[in-house]
């Protein structure tokens, strides 16, 4: 089974801090995604990457950036964390051309 | 603005009953409609998916019904069990989207009482 691992289960950060969320997949998937999950809003796409060093904005990219230097690793960066970025962050990956995603277990980020 | 509208937000069903969750969409370019199941503390996992060339797909106790003309699809959980208690998300992606990006509904929290 493909495994998608998010490095932290819970994070608490202060307003204005630079925050890094890490995601690693072990099955050579080309496509990787970052979503945030909020009650009543479902999952909203922040950024995705279709290959190493390639990235595209999703529906809500403001305040975020990403990095993909290696195929297995996709990082989400909050340049200056704000309280409205308190959320559950989910990473997912899939093979190019396939439709089904494999999700990680999520990182619950609280910005105080 | 959410491209996939999901209802209800939550539902409670007795063990052995039927859980029904509905989703609607406007974009006729959508051609793949999966359902994801999420247990507390876990990420969503693909449960079942359908394409618009079929009206129904069944896997065990889970059935997707699809109405192309109405632009609606639904998940039916037959003989609901306490282990089915989870949050369910419908989603859709577009034909021609090279990356298969999914648009998700808001989610439905299902509680199955013993």
Residue-wise pLDDT for B34-78, tens only, equals 999 999 999 999 999 999 899 999 999 999 999 999 999 999 999
- Chains A and B: how many Cβ contacts under 8 Å? 63
Distance from CA of B13 to the nearest CA of A (A): 20
Cβ within 8 Å, pair B99-A58: no
Q: How far is A4 from A107, CA to CA, in rounded Å?
A: 12
Q: Do B89 and A43 touch (CB under 8 A)?
A: yes
Q: Return the percentage of chain B with pLDDT > 70, whole number.
A: 99
Instruction: Look at B43 and A106 and tell me if their CB atoms are within 8 Å.
Output: yes
Instruction: Provide the pLDDT for residue A70.
Output: 96
Nearest to B102 among A40, A97, A101 (CB): A101
Gap from A85 CA to chain B (nearest CA, Å): 18
* pLDDT 10s digits, A42-101: 999 999 999 999 999 999 999 999 999 999 999 999 999 999 999 999 999 998 888 889
- Which residues in chain A touch residue B36, judged by CB atoms under 8 angstroms apart? 101, 103
What integer pLDDT is reported at residue A1 of this predicted model?
Answer: 66
Q: Is the separation of the CB atoms in B23 and B73 below 8 Å?
A: yes
pLDDT band for position B89 (cuts 50, 70, 90): very high
Asked whether residue B108 carries a pLDDT value surpassing 80, the answer given is yes
User: Is A2 a residue whose pLDDT tops 70?
Assistant: no
3-class DSSP assignment, residue B82: helix
As beta bridge partners, residue B37 has: B45, B88
Interval B103-109 mean pLDDT: 96
Give the number of other CB atoms < 10 A from CB of residue B101. Answer: 18
- Res A111 pLDDT > 80: yes
Residue B41 in contact with partner chain A when CB distance is under 8 A: yes
């Amino acid at each position: 089974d493909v495994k998608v691992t998010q490095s932290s289960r819970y994070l608490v950060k202060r307003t204005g801090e630079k925050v890094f969320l890490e995601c690693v997949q072990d099955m050579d998937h080309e496509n990787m995604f970052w979503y945030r999950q909020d009650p009543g809003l479902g999952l909203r796409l922040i950024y995705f990457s279709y290959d190493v060093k390639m990235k595209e904005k999703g529906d809500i990219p403001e305040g975020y950036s990403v990095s993909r230097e290696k195929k297995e690793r996709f990082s989400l960066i909050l340049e200056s964390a704000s309280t409205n970025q308190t959320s559950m962050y989910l990473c997912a990956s899939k093979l190019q051309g396939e439709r089904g995603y494999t999700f990680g277990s999520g990182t619950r980020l609280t910005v105080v | 603005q959410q491209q996939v509208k999901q209802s209800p937000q939550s539902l409670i069903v007795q063990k052995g009953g039927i859980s029904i969750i509905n989703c609607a969409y406007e974009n006729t370019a959508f051609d793949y409609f999966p359902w994801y199941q999420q247990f507390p503390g876990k990420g969503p996992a693909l449960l079942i998916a359908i394409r618009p060339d079929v009206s129904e797909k069944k896997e065990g106790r889970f059935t997707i019904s699809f109405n192309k003309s109405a632009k609606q699809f639904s998940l039916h959980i037959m003989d609901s069990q306490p282990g089915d208690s989870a949050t369910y998300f419908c989603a859709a992606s577009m034909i021609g989207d090279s990356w298969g990006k999914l648009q998700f509904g808001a989610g439905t929290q299902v509680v199955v009482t013993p």
